Structure 1
Amino acid sequence: MRPLIDVSTLERMLKRGGPAPVLLDVRWHLGGPPGVESYRKGHLPGAVFVDLDRDVAGTPGSGGRHPLPEPAAFEAAMRRAGVFADRPVVVYDGADSTAAARLWWTLRYFGHENVRVLDGGYHAWTTAGNAVAVGDSYEEVEPGDFQARPGNLPVLDAAGAAALAKAGVLLDARASERYRGEVEPIDPVAGHIPGAVNAPTLGNVGVDGRFLPSELLRERFAGLGATDAVDVGAYCGSGVTAAHEILALHLAGIPAALYVGSWSAWVADPTNPVATGEA
Structure 2
Amino acid sequence: MATLMSAPELHARLKTGDRTVLLDVRWVLGRTDGQIEYLAGHLPGAVFVDLPTELADHAQPRLGRHPLPSAERFQEAARRWGINDGDTVVAYDNSGSMAAARVWWMLRNAGVSSVYLLDGGLAAWRANGYAVEPGEVIPGAGNVTLGEGNMPAITELEAAQWHSDGVLLDARAGERYRGEVEPIDPRAGHIPGAVSAPTTGNIRADGTFLPADQLRQRFKEMGLHMSTSVAVYCGSGVTASHEIAALEIAGYTAALFPGSFSQWSNNTANPVVVGSEPLGEGAGGADAHAGPSGTSTSAGSSVGG
Query: TM-score, normalising length from structure 1?
Result: 0.97
In structure 1, what is the Cα distance between the partners aligned to 2:235 and 2:226? 25
1:57 positional shift: 1.1
Q: Which amino acid aligns with 1:126?
A: R
- How many Å separate the matches in 2 of 1:258 and 1:4? 19
1:165 aligns with 2:178: no
| Residue 124 of structure 1: aligned partner | 124
Counterpart of 1:143?
Answer: 141
**Counterparts of 2:136 and 2:120 in 1: how far apart (Å)?**
22
Q: Residue in 2 aligned with 1:249?
A: 247
Name the SS for the 2:168 alignment partner: strand
AA in 2 matched with 1:171: L
1:29 aligns with 2:46: no
The correspondence for 1:177, drawn from 156, 175, 178, is 175
- In 2, the alpha carbon distance for the partners of 1:10 and 1:181 equals 40
After superposition, give the CA deviation of every residue in 1:182-212 in whole Å (9 maximum; x if it has no partner): 1111101001000000001000000000000
Matches within 5 A, 1:261-272: 261-272=259-270
1:267, distance to aligned residue in structure 2 (A) = 1.1
Alignment equivalent of 2:258, drawn from 251, 257, 260: 260
What residue number does 1:112 align with? 112
CA distance in 2, matches of 1:32, 1:264: 18
- Give the distance between the partners of 1:269 and 1:147, measured in 2 at CA: 35
* Equivalent position amino acid for 1:87 in 2: D
Residue type of the alignment partner of 2:44? P
Q: Residue by residue, what CA displacement relative to the aligned partner does 1:62-120 show, whole Å, maximum 9, x if unpaired?
A: 21111111111110011000011211000000140001111100111111111000000
* Partner in structure 1 of residue 11 of structure 2: 11
1:34 CA drift (Å): 2.5
Q: List structure 1 segments (4+ residues) > 4 angstroms apart after TM superposition.
A: none
Q: Letter of the aligned partner of 2:49 in structure 1? A: V
Matches of 2:270 and 2:244, distance apart in 1: 24
Looking at structure 2, the residues matched to 83 and 246 of structure 1 have their Cα atoms a distance apart, in angstroms, of 23
State the Cα RMSD in Å: 0.9
Deviation at 1:31, TM superposition (A): 1.4
2:47 is equivalent to residue 48 of structure 1: yes
**TM-score normalized by structure 2?**
0.89
Q: Within 1, Cα distance between the matches of 2:165 and 2:177? A: 20
1: CA distance, partners of 2:36 / 2:29: 14
3-state SS in 1 of match to 2:266 = coil
For structure 1, the residue ranges without an aligned partner over 5 or more in a row are none
Cα distance between partner residues in 1 of 2:140 and 2:229:
41
Contact 1:234 1:245 in 2 (8 A): yes
Counterpart selection for 1:216 from 199, 214, 217:
214
Look up the equivalent residue of 2:78 and give its one-letter code.
M
Q: What are the ranges of 5 or more consecutive residues in structure 2 without an aligned counterpart?
A: 278-305
Corresponding residue for residue 79 of structure 2: 79
How many residues end up aligned between the 2 structures?
A: 276
How much identity, in percent, do the aligned residues show? 51
Distance 2:264 2:85 in 1: 34
Question: Alpha-carbon deviation of 1:124?
Answer: 0.7
**Corresponding residue number in structure 2 for 1:204:** 202
